[in-house]
Amino acid sequence: MEASCFTCFCGLQCLASGGLPELLTAAKEHLDKGGPPILIFEDHSGTLVDFNFTGSLEDVIARAIPVEVPRGPGRPKLGVTGAEVSLLPRHWEWLDAQPARASGTIRRLVDAARQGATDPQRQKVDAAFRFMTSLGGDYPNYEEAIRALYAGNWPRLRRLIRDWPADIAGYPLWILGLGPAVGPDTRSAAARTGQPAGSNEIWRETATAIVRGIAQGRWTAVEVMEAYLSRIETVNPAVMAMTAVWSDDALEAARGVDAALDEGRSPGPLAGLPFVVKANIDVLGHPTDQGIAALSMIGAGSDSPLVARLRAAGAIPLGHSNLPDLSLRFETSSSLHGRTLNPWNPTMSPGGSSGGTAVALATGMASVGLGNDAGGSLRLPALFAGLPALKPGTGRFPQDHRSGGHDPSYASQVIPVDGIMGRSIVDLGLLLEVLSGPDARDPRVVPAPSRGPALPRPIPVAVAANPAGVAIHRMVASRVTEAAYALERAGYSPVPVELPRFMEVLAAYDRLIMTEFSLVGAGLDRLIGEDGRRYLDFLRAATKPADLPGYVALTSLRLELQRTWSQFMEEWPLILGPVFSEPFVPVDTDIADAAAHARVGLGRALCSVSSFLGLPAVAVPCGIIEGMPAGVQLIGRAFREDLCLEAAAVLEKEFGLLGPVDPRS
């Protein structure tokens, strides 16, 4: 609640609210002008109080707030009004007349107040009840509203009192901490009912704020869904981020969330939260088209594990987001749906392959979304869109990437992971709790706690501004340095360190993947479009496949390299470095020529290496470089996503949030 102590009502409207002198001044001016009678309520208790307004304003204030409080037995050594107890003029008169009983009376009042103070929320509920009893008893749904109040069912309470006079409905919501203060300066219907001005811009909120707002009844799930659907209709044609929007299903699910909340049932910790899904992740009944025509007519037979978990938590899928054909490019452009544009600058790449999810979030079409990452496919588009993203470590989130009933080959089992993007680091932490843990469909998942033991401070951070030794943009290197300074101020110990066997890991990553691609290359060429084939041709030219003994040796080498890094991270539990070596690249750089293709591959080297090793990583925005979002990434020990998120929260506090951005401006 705000700092005001009293609120004055005249009829059905709030006349004034504030400290006692200010309120008495406003009330007396109103009465001296012949205004209608008033009612004054003490905010902390909700009780109706009386003041004697005869005489001058000075007389009124002096009676209510004595200048001096005598210390004799007739006047206890207490102020008139405080957080613990309120004593009005008539109380003082009674105590003056009975000095022998004054001390015991004060003690009982204070003791009773202190007992109530052990449950601040119950105090607020009781205060709201007293006010509603005083002024709301004749309004519709009064008795049901009181039951909802004491049940703590805020969505139902809001719905039941929505048709009451605006200030009468708004004041108890403010007492409960569910809405803004009422008064002459807050006359908009949205403000008086606890909704922010411009509530059609709910899409600007973070996922955490959306979930809290629905739980508190600030918005209904339907209002939230309608806001996002309207935003999609407005901006998606300008960026082509969403390839399918399931409006009817989403609204029906939102109505179900509202009905459950209205009945006092909990639909889950993410109740009503809309989310988008990359189009290579299954959503029941909808084609997982992966950007190609061959898969565009086959509806998924079940939800993927992460979609199922989000649904179980009350979240609602909005639609599929764009990706390159079979996710096989740095760019986000599919032969089936076309190109996704970067809303910050349409001539620059949005990154890939989860670029549709990133652009949808960056433009306010959702606040969280699912994608996947095998070498930066979450972190790169998050960087270019100005968003945080979490690539979980291998074995953290369950996933099911079977195609036609067949499981993927070894590299596609151990390298790619499904992950998340959000609007804030807190959003990522919220989803981490929901999505972690075993699932029968994925026996690789480890039941590791989402939060590990605290580490001794200061936590060492290995700073690797240019681990691949490429021509790195000076502003990218500078932003890594600034991030290191921010972490140092927050109690970390960042030190420039050379990462172990870095280029060897990168070479093993490339060769393992290309060996498996060589076995299915002809089939891939038939499925994907011309741009995708050109991208694969550059990959094939750069890295030759291994023979069978070489492939088997690569599987052994991966374990050896994982062990090397595991031992390294015993000393350095966090690594700080760039997501990409350049702040931005023009569209189609990855297929411009062989040199440009190689530049893109080396630029994202830290992403590829951390994916090959199965380590968790968080990309976090760090301001703007030349009109485009900047950022860094934090890589952690196995199953220590929490360490990455904690450090990323420090950087988010330092550099702030970005967006949503309007692609039409």
Q: pLDDT (tens digit, 9 = 90+) per residue, 544-587?
A: 999 999 999 999 999 999 999 999 999 999 999 999 999 999 99
pLDDT computed for residue 352 by the predictor: 97
Active site residues: 278, 353, 377
Spell out, as residue ranges, where the chain has pLDDT lower than 50. 1-2, 69-85, 110, 113-114, 186-199
pLDDT of residue 111: 53
Q: Cα–chain-centroid distance for residue 114?
A: 37
Token readout for 204 is 């600007």
pLDDT for res 196: 40
pTM here is: 0.84
As given in the structure block, the two tokens for residue 82 are 């405080």
**Residue 135, beta-bridge partner list:** none
Name the class of domain 204-435. alpha beta
Provide the 10 A C-beta neighbour count for residue 403: 13
- The whole-number pLDDT of residue 286 equals 98
Whole-number pLDDT of residue 1: 44
- Compute how many other C-beta atoms are within 10 angstroms of the C-beta atom of residue 471: 10
User: CA 39 to CA 653: how far, in whole Å?
Assistant: 44
Residue 115 has what pLDDT?
52
* Domain 460-655 is found in CATH 3.90.1300.10: yes
What integer pLDDT is reported at residue 341 of this predicted model? 98
Q: Measuring CA to CA, how many Å separate 539 from each of 372, 523, 598, 606?
A: 20, 16, 9, 18
Domain ranges of the chain: 1-65+119-197, 204-435, 460-655
pLDDT at residue number 97: 63
User: Quick check: do 204-435 and 460-655 share a fold?
Assistant: yes
pLDDT for 423: 97
Place of tokens 């009376």: 105
Phi, psi of 52 (to 5 degrees): -90, 110
